[in-house]
Structure formats: structure tokens, C-alpha cells
Structure 1
């Protein structure tokens, strides 16, 4: 008879080998399957959970200042030639000249041009001027090209030394210089070798059509040919006081209605200066009038100027209104605070009862969110008194705290609210107090100097309604 008992161990060994083979062949598949299931679970969890959008705190004004194009009105006169002849210019374009200063000379014959080479420094200045104009060129305001052309020609003549009169005859106010009749100004002023038809206009005589830049034309008066008696030769601006008129919408006029002065930034050179402001009406529309008493020489060649009214002067940290929440706190007078000597932290001594029923004082390191002056209490020595805003989780209503200096007790219960946001720099929502300086429909400007407040580049919850304090977000 066969011995079945001897075959049992062999069958058992074969069964174990088969299991090992199955497990050995599929261990990679099993690991991949587990990872795949984990990824599916994570994806479902991500898609079904609410996503918290963060906002990085920035600094700056609430909104950009509005820009305008203003029409320059000043006291100026177009001067005409008193006789015929060829013109030789002495005053530089855009420069200020004193009374009796030589502007130009007229001669019966054309004065031969001297061969003059510009130095490397002069050429560098001209290239710099051309590059600046090229970078700021706006095709819709092509008329500025004529102003730049006049300015550039004047600079070239100045660098070449052509426009500098020499000799004692000019200094002695003699009307002739060689074979030339010298024309001199009767008063101080700024010289322009152009005209545009606005020279006789005043603030009271301008119309809405005068603001149409497409129909604006400037005439260059400089010439190397002959002029006739009565021809326009140059324009002189005789008063440093000038006005800039800007069109306003009804909304802009209402916003600026209470202003009597305004700070203006000139986009041409980013210079700023203040002027007196008033609102006037032209042909049934609102216009702003800004009066200046200086700075005209920088913009004498410009009839139209692009400006920015610096009205948004409140600056701080900019946050969305949707980030703002209101939180309630216990308010505790600062006189009941104490400092832990070992840890050097501010807290309060709470009156407790131990297991034997004896009263003991326990130091509570409460989270303080604000320290505001209490104007209803004045100390005997004149020092201000403060109120601490303490997180409500630190105490229960009715808890007693004791002053270490006077042994007086204070019963916790009075509350007040603070505005703030949830800061998530550490991955969980932490309340930070804010002080709003200004706001519009979307954003608020808050102070940079708020104790226990925000700093630039902090990350906060953009929609505070989606989270609660201490929620872990990532």
C-alpha cells in the first residue's frame, strides 16, 4: 500500500511555492493599484472641496489718479518785423530774455553761414533729446512734433554759437550791429519762434472747439529767407502766471467740486507742482481751471499738456473688501495686565480655585489683538490709559482677574469688535487687525502701522466668508 503520510509534506511545499510565485509576480501591480486608488481619492477630494483663494497684500494708493489733457492759456504776444530783410536769430527758442535783450537782427543781404562743428558733448545732448522724444511719441498727438522741431533747432543754433550776439553795441543798447537792425524786447519774457492762433485767447474767450487737437496747427516762424514788414517773427510770453484748462465729466466735476487747490503731475517730465483750482463752464460743459504762478518755462512750447491730478493721496496697504471680517473680543483695562518675569510676556492673573477649594492666582497668556487708548479714563499723573482686546477663548464670561499692583478685581464680560482679515502665512487662518483709511467699491487702504496688524507681502484669505479662524488651509 502506498504511504500517503509521506506525500503530505511535498504537497504542502508545492502549495507554498505557488503562493510565493503569485505574490512575487503581482507585488508591483498591487503597489501601483494602491497608488492609483490614492490618486483617484485625492482628485475626488480636491474637486469636491472648496478652494480658498489667497491675496498678497500690496502697498500704494486706492486707485490710480485720473489723467487729463489740458489747454495752456498764458499772456503772450506775436511780434512782427518792423522792416524787410534777412533774419539772424540771437535768442534761443524757449529761453527767457530780459528787457532790451536782442532777439533777432535784419540785414539787407543774407549773412553767410559760418562753418561750425558741434562738439561730442553737444551731439550727445541732441541725441539724448531725440531719443527721449522718440520714446514718448504719440501718433495721435503729432502736433508735438512741431514743438520738438523748434526746440531742437534752437538747441543746435545755441550749441553752434550762432545765436550769441557779440560786441559792445548790443550791450550798450545800440539798435544796429554791423549792417543789421537789431530788434529787442521791451520787457522780460520767454521767446518762441512759432505761433498757433491761441496767442490772443483768454480764459474767458476760449470755446469747446479750441480743445480739438485734430484741428490744431502750429506755424514755425523761423526762416533762412527774407521776411517782409509786418510778417510774424517770434512770440513772447510776458507773464509767469498761466492757466491750464481741462475738460471734466459730470462725475469728475462733482468729485472735485470742493477743491480750491490741487497738485498736478506733468506727464511730459514727471514734474509736479500745486495750483489754485476752480470749476468753470464753457459752452454748457464743465471744465477745471488750474492757475499756476511758476513753471511755465518748462512747458512754454506746449499748447496741450497731458497731466495727472494727484487726488488719491491716501496710501497704505491695499486689500479686497471681501477679505474683511469683524471679530468680537473681551476688553480688559491695561491696569489689570501683568508681565511674566520668566518668559517676559504680557498676560493676566486669573483668580481660580484649586481642588482643595482654596483661591489661587493663575497666569493666563492671553492673545492680545489690539491696544487702544481709553479716552474715558485719565490717570492721576496724566498718562493715557489703554484697553486690551483679548481673544474670547482665553476667558469665560464672569472670570475674575486681579491687578498685581492694587489687588483690585475685574470681572471679564465687556466686549467690543475689531475689523480684520485672516492671514494665512503659516498655512492656517489667523485674525489680524486692520485700520481702514480709505475705500471704494472693491478695495480698502489700511494703515501700515497698526499694532498686531498686517505687513506688505502678507498672504490673506480673499473671501473671508469661506473660512473660520484657525482653519488649516494647507
Structure 2
């Protein structure tokens, strides 16, 4: 039998296919290498500040009294809410017979409309409510309701004052009794029943069970002895705020140097300075703010939510993760010299002994990061421990000793990393504020966030 010939297998590969496979393998290797690398994050330096503050809700203490009517009847007021009244000035009248009330009702029916000015007052109050309302400021709803009610009730009172002479002729002076203010002060028609509250009576329950202001005015007949308005005397008032033990200690320590503090009122974003002192009372801690102004601004408030600014630091804001430490040498300023064609002192003279035993000087460029009155902090790859520096005249030498550490960041404005020293001013967990004047960075510099993943002079892009 004839032997069967073995068939040989030949692989024929197209040159284009081979090149394609090589490109695919290269791209896959590059992608895997890229995915394995730590990703760099870059941050742009911004101007900002860190505010150290304490927030809290305080209770208002002021000299105020409720004034009661001595006669039964219908009360009609001659002054508006928040008006300043002099001593013996007319605040209201008492309609003992009801005739004046009947007259006013007839006048209102004739008027049968609300003036444009009156409409604008109501619309303005609704606008303020709309802009300032939040779920955290729900009490504003009640305040607005009281304000609008006060405005509408004031129309009747205004009408009474405008027609006083006609009423006297029609019904005689005995138709109503005039009531005068016992003292000078601000008139308010709202009350929460806490007018006699004093510092010694303040407790935790006062901040838990907050009493709302109620309007004392009514179109119903009032009995003798009923409160008809609140009189607030003078401009002095206090805000007593409960604080925790830690904040109390911080404020107490600050009080040794400064007795005033900046206060921001969240109700209307008003900022003012106040005298303050700390108080421990019944196992609770308080800070008491004292004011001699703005009492009319918060006339109908009992509680105010405020922020106390302990300190405010301005500078350049950078993330804490961008900080890095660099080892440098500390040398006397006199050992910095000018370069060949430069007027800047960014060189040092390194002294060495040649083969002939002669002392020779060679210049080396250094990066100067930080300086004070007598010393500079420098870095150069040419400097090591034991290197001898010399002044140009060789009269003084300085031997490099142990390295020091300075704090800084890497900036990448030109595509490669450059170390810049910073001077820390304030720091929290995520960010820090550095001095714009004494740091090497500037506004809008681009810095590396994850600084532990790069080295100096590393090309980034």
C-alpha cells in the first residue's frame, strides 16, 4: 500500500489584521494602566473666611408693664402700635354707653371701602410674610396675622381721633372717658403675660413652653381691670441665651479680654454689637446680651434666634487634603547671594576644598520658601547635611545641620507641580484658611488636592 502523505497546515495572516491586533493590545494595556493609577484632583484657590460662632434662642428681658382699664366699656385707641407716648399722653378712650361704638359703625358703613393706603399696608405685610416664611420660622404666620389685625383695627381708632370734636358735640364729653399713660414709653397692644419676667426667674421650661403674643384689642365690651395695652419703658433690654458647658467656657475665656460680641438676628438678618457676660444659674449656663438700642425693632418679640460671632478669619481657602510637608534647611539670611545675571538673592555659595587644599566656592540655586527676621528656609538638591555654606568674602561659614519641615501645597499652574509654602490661620476638618499675605499661593492658583500622590516637579499635563 502506498503511504498516505501528511497534509501540512499553513497559517496565512493578513498584514493589516496583525497591525490592528497590535493596536488593540496597546490600547487595552494603556487603559488598564490608566485605571490603575490614582486620579489627581485639582482645586482652584478661592477667597473665603471661617466664622466661629454660637447659635441659640434667647428670651428678652425688658422693663415693661401691662396697663389695665379702670372703667368697663368699649376701648378705642388714639395711638398706633409701637408709638412713643409721653407721660399723661392720651392712649385710649372708654366708651361707657356704646353710643360712640354705634357712631363708628355707621361711619364705617358710609365709608364702605378700604383706602389705597390701607390696602398697600396689608399687601406689604403679606409680602414680608411671603419672603420671610420658612418651616423653621412658623411663628411668622401668627405675627403676620397679628400685624394685619392691628392694621385693620387701627382704621377705627384713626376715625375716632379724626372725629373727636364731632363726637363731643353729638354725645357730650361724658360719652367716653379719656385714659392717659402713667409713664413715657412705647405702646404695644400685644402681650404674652411674661411682662414680669426677671433674670432670676429664667429656667429651662421657659424655652420649652414658649408662650405666643396675643392681641389685647377687641371690639367687644371690656370689663374693668382687663389689660388693654403694654407699656415698654426706656431703651435698655437684655437677651438671655442658654448655652452648653463647652460654649459657656469659650465665652467665659473670651470675656476676660473682650466684653462685646457681634450678634446676628436671624429674624431680619440685622447685625449689632452687644455687651455680654456669662452666668451659671440653677445648674444651667447662660450668656446675657445687653443692648441700649433697637428695642422698638423687637417690641413684640419674646424669643429671638441669634448667632454670636466669636471670631471671623479671612484669607485664602484650601482643602485640608491638599496640605503637604516639605523638608528644608534653615540658614541665616546673610548666606543668600545674587545669581549671575539676577538681582534676586536665590543662590548660595558652597565651599569645598580642591585637590590643592584650597577653599573654593561654587554657586547653587535654591528655592526660598519662608523667611523671618534672621533666617530663610531653602531647598536644593545640591544641599545635604554637612554642606558648608560661605559668604562671598569667605569670612563667615555655616554648616548645614538637621532639616526642618514647613507646610505647603503643590500648585500646577504651568502643568507641573511646584511646592509653595503656606501660613495656616484657621482650620477645620475639611478646609483651612491660609494667610494671603504670608503664603506663597495666590487667589485662583490651581493646587493638587490629593498631595500624597505626587512629587515636586512632576509633570501633570
| Alpha-carbon separation, structure 2, partners of 1:267 and 1:177 | 48
TM-score of the pair, normalised by structure 2: 0.79
Equivalent residue for 2:179?
183
**Equivalent of 1:130, from 126, 129, 151?**
126
Equivalent residue for 1:9?
none
Contact 1:92-1:163 within 8 A present in 2 as well:
no
Equivalent residue for 2:283?
284
**Equivalent of 1:461, from 420, 423, 448?**
448
Q: Deviations over 1:321-376 (max 9, x none)?
A: 443333232334334444458444333363678999898766654322123223xx
**Equivalent of 2:90, from 102, 109, 116?**
102
Structure 1 residue 234: Cα displacement: 0.8
Q: Deviations over 1:383-417 (max 9, x none)?
A: xxxx33222325455343434xx774443525543
Equivalent residue for 1:273?
272
**Equivalent of 2:232, from 237, 247, 254?**
237
Counterparts in 2 of 1:26-105, with a 5 A limit?
A: 27=16, 32-62=20-50, 65-105=53-93
1:210 maps to 2:197: no
| Alpha-carbon separation, structure 1, partners of 2:178 and 2:18 | 105
| Alpha-carbon separation, structure 2, partners of 1:459 and 1:408 | 43
Structure 1 residue 61: Cα displacement: 3.6
Equivalent residue for 1:426?
414
Moved more, 341-350 or 32-41: 341-350
| Alpha-carbon separation, structure 2, partners of 1:283 and 1:156 | 45
TM-score of the pair, normalised by structure 1: 0.77
The alignment's C-alpha RMSD in Å is: 3.7
Specify whether residues 355 and 161 from structure 1 end up closer, same or farther in structure 2 by C-alpha distance, changes over 3 A only. Answer: farther
| Alpha-carbon separation, structure 1, partners of 2:379 and 2:350 | 18
Specify whether residues 423 and 140 from structure 1 end up closer, same or farther in structure 2 by C-alpha distance, changes over 3 A only. Answer: closer
| Alpha-carbon separation, structure 1, partners of 2:416 and 2:395 | 38
| Alpha-carbon separation, structure 2, partners of 1:373 and 1:290 | 43
Q: Deviations over 1:104-158 (max 9, x none)?
A: 22234214245375446x7556434322322332446544433333334445677
Structure 1 residue 307: Cα displacement: 0.8
| Alpha-carbon separation, structure 1, partners of 2:93 and 2:326 | 80
Specify whether residues 289 and 389 from structure 1 end up closer, same or farther in structure 2 by C-alpha distance, changes over 3 A only. Answer: same
1:199 maps to 2:195: yes
| Alpha-carbon separation, structure 1, partners of 2:359 and 2:27 | 57
Equivalent residue for 1:305?
304
Moved more, 144-153 or 231-240: 144-153
Aligned to 1:445, the other structure's residue is in SS state strand
| Alpha-carbon separation, structure 2, partners of 1:237 and 1:442 | 47
| Alpha-carbon separation, structure 2, partners of 1:124 and 1:60 | 41
Equivalent residue for 2:376?
388
Unaligned 5+ runs, structure 2: 1-11, 166-171
Unaligned 5+ runs, structure 1: 1-18, 170-175, 375-386
Specify whether residues 272 and 178 from structure 1 end up closer, same or farther in structure 2 by C-alpha distance, changes over 3 A only. Answer: farther
How many residues align? The count is 428
1:471 maps to 2:461: no
Q: Deviations over 1:221-251 (max 9, x none)?
A: 1223332221211111113222212222333
